[in-house]
Structure 1
Amino acid sequence: MKTEVLSQEHDIYRNALRKFLVKEVYPFYDEWEKKGIIPRELWTKMGDNGFLCPWLDESYGGLNADFGYSVVLNEELERVGSSLIGISLHNDIVVPYINSYGTSEQKKRWLPKCITGELITAIAMTEPGAGSDLAGIRTTAIKKGDHYILNGQKTFITNGINADLIVVVAKTDPKAIPPHKGISLLVVERGMPGFSRGKKLDKVGLHAQDTAELFFEDVKVPEENLLGEEGKGFYYLMDKLQQERLIVALSAQVAAEEMLKLTLEYVKERKAFGNSLSKFQSIQFKLAEMATEVELGRTFIDDLIKQHMNGEDVVNKVSMAKWWITDMAKRIATDSMQLHGGYGYMEEYEIARRYRDIPVSSIYAGTNEIMKMIIAKQMGL
């Protein structure tokens, strides 16, 4: 991304990050995909080099950096591979909840270690019977004295295995009308009695991402771990979803750009009927279509990033970007594999992994159908 919101300082940060990734991530990524998890050592190495939550205040160990640094980080992580999405989730989705709604004591207790990588975070919204319908969750946290008794199950939780802090969405008032007014956020910490994890889920893609089920059986969560005010959880979630969906759209955009790049390189090298594939007009036309869609996505996302950094309310436009760019990236993946021919179906070619990884982007952070509902509502429909 090269836009007016990114400065020379962002370029310096990007160059340092790229050097780090070339040394510490690129050589091992395929191995992590096979093992099914990203080692905790990567988190602490990133923390040591200032790549975790640089936007946090200096009083916690951060750099007080702007969102442009998060943009750079998310772009470069996606260029390596989509399984690194858990780092983006920690940096720009979960930790912002703690920073925005946590008490002074909570922030002093958790944020410094979120920066060093000693604490890995996750957010637990989805349940086996409730996804986009957050008001329909069944997990409860009933107040009893100076703590809450947490019971329920969560699924599809990013960083589910590695996470040390989990922001759990639960109903502290199951009888609230309307139901969303009874939702609160509680922070569950590794090792709390009654908290357990299922095995890492076996997914179509994102093989190195430790997505898991979480179980809560009479977990005593101290009232000091309530995040924000009781009953305000749904509103906190709605407030933070703009940035979450922007991150998803940005990652999908970068994935599309990488797939187009891979395909261009392949068709120029691959020969058929005495010529490179790139000389055939039908392939040229297809690549021209793909390049146009990718360029449209980049223009849209760059403009949204600028507006988001200016503090503007772009929920409607972010919903548009989230569904259109993720759908576009899926089209690019399909076309890219087709243009790779049989080799595109081979695991030794990166396009095979990209093809597996991209579909879920249209599902998580709110399905694309939900995005269209938001847009329609904003249109007065």
Structure 2
Amino acid sequence: MSDMAEPMQQQLANASAVLARTRSLFDASVLALAQRCQDGGRLNNKRLDEQQVASFEMAWAGAELLAAETAIAALTPASAPLDARLALVFTVDAVVALLDRLDVMLAETGQDPAAVDVLRALPEWRALRQAAGGSEALQAVGRGVIDAQGVVGEVVLDEQHALAQDAFRRFAQEVVAPQAEAIHRHDLTVPESLLQPMREMGVFGLAIPEEHGGSAPNDHDDTLLMVVVTEALSEGSLAAAGSLITRPEILTRALLAGGTDEQKHHWLPRLAAGDPLCAIAMTEPDYGSDLAACQLKGTRAPGGWLLNGAKTWCTFAGKAGVLMVVTRTDPDRSLGHKGLSVLLAEKPSFDTHEFEVKQEGGGTLSGRAIPTIGYRGMHSFDLSFQDYFVPDANVIGGEAGLGKGFYYTLAGMVGGRMQTSARACGVMRAALRAAVRYTQDRKVFGAPLAALALPQAKIARMAARLAACRRLAYTVAGIVDTGNGRMEASLVKLLACRSAELVTREALQLHGGMGYAEETPVSRYFVDARVLSIFEGAEETLALKVVARALMERALGVAPTGA
């Protein structure tokens, strides 16, 4: 960096050297764990389950390592000094965690832990930890973040994406944020005063090709635009704005992956217009994230299917006019995921927390909103289907789509995880900026909180985590648009969602007693952030069934099988 002092250049060189050594040990540890879990060159599910503790640590290590590598690699001679310092702060925190995780991996697989001790003793690591992670360095970074009013981790965008970011940030600040507290505190459904302007701004058609009424290019995806818009809206409110795009994204991907031409022409323009709004009914009371085990039954009837069973945690099911229902259409349960199909169940829209739909033929669909500590506005519902009729025309893919519902659903999971990462970044950005404002205004013992060493260090670490997650999310968005990045999307989802919990927790803590008051927005950020590690793949399932498995398959050189 041309305007950086020589010590900074040395810190960056040390960071690169430490990360390279850590990557080498991590890759060797992944291979060793994979070899313990394989049988005949393929991963054995029973052995994988026996290594869940080590696998969980491995997945987290993979996420933290990739984020640190990405943060350091993104620095250029034109990078601002604060960006470099934030990347170094995150790298130090990440490596501290990585060394402990590598210890667990080696211990659980019976390997010699001496290799981790060697890393801990590296002169480059000791110098980096003191120079970039010591109290003096953290205080200096914290003061820089405070001077910047918490606006950190900005990624250079092209004109199209920059204009979108600016427009949706303004909308979030001027339209969403003023309504967010009332929606949260009074447990309201997202009102038309937010939904209609978002329809007019094209929010619901971001994943839908232009030829079908959306704003996405016809010949490629634009995941970056989805990330930019989602992050901006989530800064205003996770539940009242930032999460509205996820459901049409998942349904759109399913239709594009398997829908007939007639279904695409019928549904995609309507989804792009936000009429109807949609919800995704996947999770069941006894099976959680185990989609392949779902039991909601679809039985043939003249002209269509009758649905019987229950779904839970179906977000926005009340307001939605159509539900994407993952259904077991083959009675042979031994088929697992191969017996699933996706049916589109239409219903009236309700603003209430309970509803019941009665069809002329006698079928019923009832729903009840689940009371939650946060993420209010969208509402997640328990659903009960009793002989609820869905016509053949609403089976995605028609007759040829029967038994392929699992794959159609997975088509939207990568996008859903990227969106959730962006949602986490938006909440973190709101929390960090709120914390900076409060610490500048709040005086203790005769001085602003912002002038004290510990608040400065806390703010530095919060900002470093946000900046690293933003950089990783934006980078992975580009990878996803090439048709790759399934595992990387899971890694950034894993890291960003837990990071949102940490950042909002610290932001609340810096507010003291006021942070615990409902009238303070940071209390809403805190309870909203807690849900992020649960939906779009609970972090345990994501870490074990997707990330760890993919890392080990990559190490063994076998074809990936995870979701």
Q: Give the shorter-chain TM-score range.
A: over 0.9
Residue-by-residue CA offset, 1:289-331 (whole Å, 9 max, x unaligned): 222222221221121111112222x122222211121111111
| Paired letter, 2:388 | V
Moved more, 187-196 or 343-352: 187-196
Structure 1's unaligned 5+ residue stretches are none
Tell me whether 1:266 sits opposite 2:417 in the alignment. no
Instruction: Identify the residue that residue 486 of structure 2 maps to in structure 1.
Output: 315
Q: 1:74 aligns with which of 230, 235, 239?
A: 230
- Which blocks of at least 5 consecutive residues in structure 2 are unaligned? 1-152, 349-356, 554-563
CA distance in 2: counterparts of 1:340 and 1:22, whole angstroms: 21
- The answer to whether the 8 A contact 1:70-1:92 is kept is no
Q: Distance in 1 between matches of 2:391 and 2:194?
A: 31
Query: Quick check: 78-87 or 54-63, which moved more?
Result: 54-63
Is the 2:327–2:342 contact (alpha carbons within 8 Å) kept by the matching residues of 1?
yes
Correspondence 1:202 to 2:371: yes
- CA gap of 1:44–1:60, structure 2 versus 1, over 3 A, is farther
3-state SS, counterpart of residue 52 of structure 1:
helix
Distance 1:123 1:22, change over 3 A: same
Measure how far apart 1:45 and its partner are.
3.0
Cα gap change, 1:306/1:196 in structure 2, threshold over 3 Å: closer, same or farther?
A: same
**1:213 matched to 2:385:** no
Residues 293 and 328, structure 1, Cα contact 8 Å, conserved in 2: yes
- Structure 1 CA distance, aligned partners of 2:208 and 2:483? 17
Which residue type is aligned with residue 319 of structure 1?
S
Distance (whole Å) between structure 1 residues aligned to residue 469 and residue 266 of structure 2: 40
Q: Structure 1 residues 151, 76: closer, same or farther in 2, change over 3 A? A: same
Asked whether the 8 Å contact 1:195–1:214 carries over to 2, the reply is no
> Which structure has the higher relative contact order (CA within 8 Å, separation 6+)?
2
Distance (whole Å) between structure 1 residues aligned to residue 306 and residue 164 of structure 2: 44
**Aligned equivalents of 1:341 and 1:49: distance in 2?**
38
Partner of 2:261: 104
In structure 1, how many angstroms separate the alpha carbons of the residues matched to 2:507 and 2:172? Answer: 25
Q: Is the Cα contact below 8 Å between 1:141 and 1:170 reproduced in 2?
A: yes
**Corresponding pairs, count:** 379
Q: CA shift at 1:23, angstroms?
A: 5.0
- Over 3 Å counting, the alpha-carbon distance change for 1:129 and 1:102 in structure 2 is same
Residue 141 of structure 1 and its aligned partner are, at CA, apart by 0.6
Query: SS at the partner of 2:408?
Result: helix
1:44–1:116 CA contact under 8 A, matched in 2: no
Query: Residue 213 of structure 2 corresponds to which residue in structure 1?
Result: 61
Compared CA separation, residues 202 and 102, structure 1 to 2 (3 A): same
- Asked if the contact 1:270–1:276 (Cα under 8 Å) also holds between the matched residues in 2, the reply is yes
Deviation of 1:144 (Å): 3.1
Partners of 2:169 and 2:233 within 8 A in 1: no
Structure 2 match to 1:31:
182
The residue that corresponds to 2:275 in the other structure is: 118
Determine the C-alpha separation between the residues in 1 that align with 2:276 and 2:288. Answer: 26
CA displacement, residues 179-203 of structure 1 (integer Å, 9 cap, x when unaligned):
1110110000015722423232211
Structure 2 residue corresponding to 1:183, chosen from 307, 322, 340: 340
Q: 1:181 to 1:214 in 2, by over 3 A?
A: same
Q: CA–CA distance in 1 between the matches of 2:371 and 2:500?
A: 23
- 1:12 match: 163
8 Å contact from structure 2 (residues 303, 391) kept in 1? yes
- Do structure 1's residue 238 and structure 2's residue 410 form an aligned pair? yes
Contact 1:43/1:118 (<8 A) preserved: no
Compared with structure 1, are the counterparts of its residues 235 and 90 closer, same or farther at alpha carbon in structure 2 (3 Å cutoff)? closer
Q: Does residue 296 in structure 1 map to residue 474 in structure 2?
A: no
Task: Give the aligned residue type for 1:218.
Answer: D
How far, CA to CA, are the matches of 2:503 and 2:243 in structure 1?
23
Tell me by how many angstroms 1:94 deviates: 2.5
Shift in Å, 1:168: 0.2
Quote the residue 2:97 is aligned against.
Answer: none
From the CA coordinates, give the structure whose radius of gyration is larger: 2
Q: Is the 8 A contact 2:253 2:408 kept in 1?
A: no
Quick one: distance in 2 between partners of 1:201 and 1:118? Answer: 24
CA distance in 2, matches of 1:253, 1:16: 17
Alignment of 1:219-230 (within 5 A): 219-228=388-397, 229-230=401-402
Q: 1:150-199, CA deviations, whole angstroms, 9 ceiling, x for partnerless residues?
A: 11111111111101111100101131434111011000001572242323
* Change in CA separation of 1:69 and 1:172 when aligned onto 2, cut-off 3 Å: same
Alignment CA distance shift 1:329-1:19 (3 Å): closer
Equivalent position amino acid for 2:404 in 1: K
Matching residue within 428, 432, 453 for 1:256: 428
Superposition RMSD in Å:
2.1
- Kindly provide the amino acid, as one letter, of the partner of residue 507 in structure 2: S
TM-score for the superposition, normalised by structure 2: 0.64
Partner of 1:51: 203
Q: What is residue 376 of structure 1 aligned with on the other side?
A: 548
CA distance in 2, matches of 1:201, 1:52: 25
Could you tell me how far 1:20 is from its partner in structure 2? 4.1
What do residues 206-251 of structure 1 show as CA deviations (whole Å, max 9, x unaligned)? 1112221222111121111111211011122223211111111121
Preserved CA contact (<8 Å) 2:324 2:342: yes
Distance in 2 of aligned mates of 1:16 and 1:380: 42
| Alpha-carbon distance in 1 for matches of 2:495, 2:536 | 14
Report the counterpart of residue 51 of structure 2 in structure 1: none
**Counterpart code for 1:73:** V
Cα distance 1:123–1:278, how it changes in 2: closer, same or farther (>3 A)? Answer: same
Amino acid at match of 2:460: A
CA contact (8 A) 2:231 2:424 kept: no
Measure the CA separation in 1 of the matches of 2:461 and 2:293: 41
**Aligned to 2:378, what secondary structure does the other structure show?**
coil
